[in-house]
Chains A and B, each alone.
Chain A
Amino acid sequence: MTKSNDDFKVETWNSKPTKGAAGKTGLWRTFRPIIDDDVCTRCEICALYCPEPCITLNPDDPSHEKGRMVIEYEYCKGCGICANECPKHCIEMVKETEFLVEEEEEDK
């Protein structure tokens, strides 16, 4: 019988769940969700609905007794589900091009 007398191995695609397995998906984004921290009640509905998930509550932030909602823009694809679900309508989807000018100025 042919036995494994060499290094050949059958290879399949098996990936362990890991952060950013498909790369920096934030690069796909056209609209950036911006949370208005003054209106936000920290209800965490956005975090619940985020399909990635890249919205989390930072409980140590001093801006509010519950902390502050933080969006991880490296992976946020800008799908807008958070803005759609927010009961306070305090997440605004802003065109990425607007930040481009800002960021260019920062670079200077």
Chain B
Amino acid sequence: MTVSDKSPKSIGNEEAKTFIISGNYAAAYAAKMARIEVVAAYPITPSTDCVEKVSEFVEDGVMGAELIKVESEHSVAGALIGASSTGARTFSSTSAHGLLYMAELVWWAALARLPVVMSIVNRELAPAWSIWAQTQDSMSLRDSGIIQYYCKNAQEVFDTLLMAYKVSEHEHVYMPSLVCQDAYILSHTNAQVDMPAQKDVDDFIGTYNPKHFILDPKNPVTHSNLSYPQHYRQKRFNIMESTHRAKQIIKDVCADYKKRFGRFHGDLVDTYGIDKKTKHIIVSHSSIAEEIELSVDMLKKKGYDAGLIRIRVLRPFPDEELRELCKNIETIHFIERAPSYGYKGIIAIDTMAALFESENRPKAFHHIEGLSGMDVTAEYAADLIEKDLETLK
């Protein structure tokens, strides 16, 4: 914690409350209750509502964060990197081109080991201009080391943001996080969000006390000076170790959250309808996955032993968990929003690589669906799976 030993104020959430709010507002409330110290923002559709709400909180005096208005998303990340380097807890929210404009500094935050946390509203990239959901914006940054969570509803956005601070600020991690939600489907749709009392959130999340490095005028250091190959290699392997360790830390934090607040959205993966009999697994992500839960029920009624894996954390990737869940299945069906052009869906690529190390290699079917926020209904998804399975008859 920087500047003073007093946490920034957060007024209005003294008691546990239930709100009917959008995913963007859920993120803003989570930022307020996490007592973030610095927020920088350059609003972009469809994440605008989040930083608008945060600036409203700050203006109303119910949130004690320092709000920095900057001239671009690149500067947003720059401001957050500077603030986080002094030991401040930081936050912002952006989308699509905003995120890609700050891409260089997303890598910087990750490689500098700064636990910046951002709420990302996944939006399709231009051209042509589109403002609807697609996850390529954040998924294209998956190699940077940044931890990425993909949420299925507004409640999960709120809970995951609090958990993200806890994970990112863990002394073995110190990596930034993106907490992602689908444009409009979550960001602008009002839904029930239960919020715990501020005191309980404070107990859970604690304060950020960096042990690895801090910018302090009383103890000047040069950070990230020219580094020769041997040192560079050592620090990069340190990042690999930290991001691998983050898997267990995410599981622990999710379990702790469940114990304290009674809510659990899965840890690295979320599953639905998987049991010993499951022969067909659908792998999906974000809000599509919540809809596909209904498809699983439909398929089961028709006699298919179907189940769902929702990739909740894309990095670090849950490879061991996938091998365990898929060890006895016959087919695996990917329904995802984000293609890697020239290959397959981004989640399919990673999942298939994980299963390559497995004894059991199920037959795979790939579907890129829901581009530009197109509706993927439960019926439509169930139909896709049924057609996949018919080809095997």
Contact = CB atoms under 8 A, between A and B. Distances in A.
Interface of A: 1-2, 4, 8-17, 21-22
Interface residues of B, number: 30
Contacts of A2: 170, 172, 245, 248-249, 252
25 contacts: A2-B249, A2-B252, A8-B172, A8-B245, A9-B212, A10-B113, A10-B171, A10-B211, A10-B238, A11-B212, A12-B113, A12-B212, A13-B224, A13-B227, A13-B231, A13-B235, A15-B221, A15-B222, A15-B225, A16-B220, A17-B220, A17-B222, A21-B222, A22-B225, A22-B226
Q: Which of A8, A9, A10, A17 lies at the interface centre, i.e. has the most chain B CB atoms within 10 A of its CB?
A: A10
Interface of B: 112-113, 170-174, 211-213, 220-227, 231, 234-235, 238, 241-242, 245, 248-249, 252-253, 256
A10 B224 contact: no
A8 B256 contact: no
A contact patch SS: loop
Contact of B221 (A1, A10, A16): A16
Contacts of B112: 12
A10 B222 contact: no
A13 B108 CA distance: 13
Given A2-B170, A4-B171, A12 B224 contact: yes
Contact of B234 (A11, A15, A17, A22): A11
A10 B220 contact: no
B223 A10 contact: no
Contacts of A9: 211-212
A10 B174 contact: yes
A12 B171 CA distance: 12
A13 B225 contact: yes
A8 B223 contact: no
Contacts of A17: 220, 222
A82 B231 CA distance: 34
Nearest to A18: B222
A28 to B, nearest CB: 13
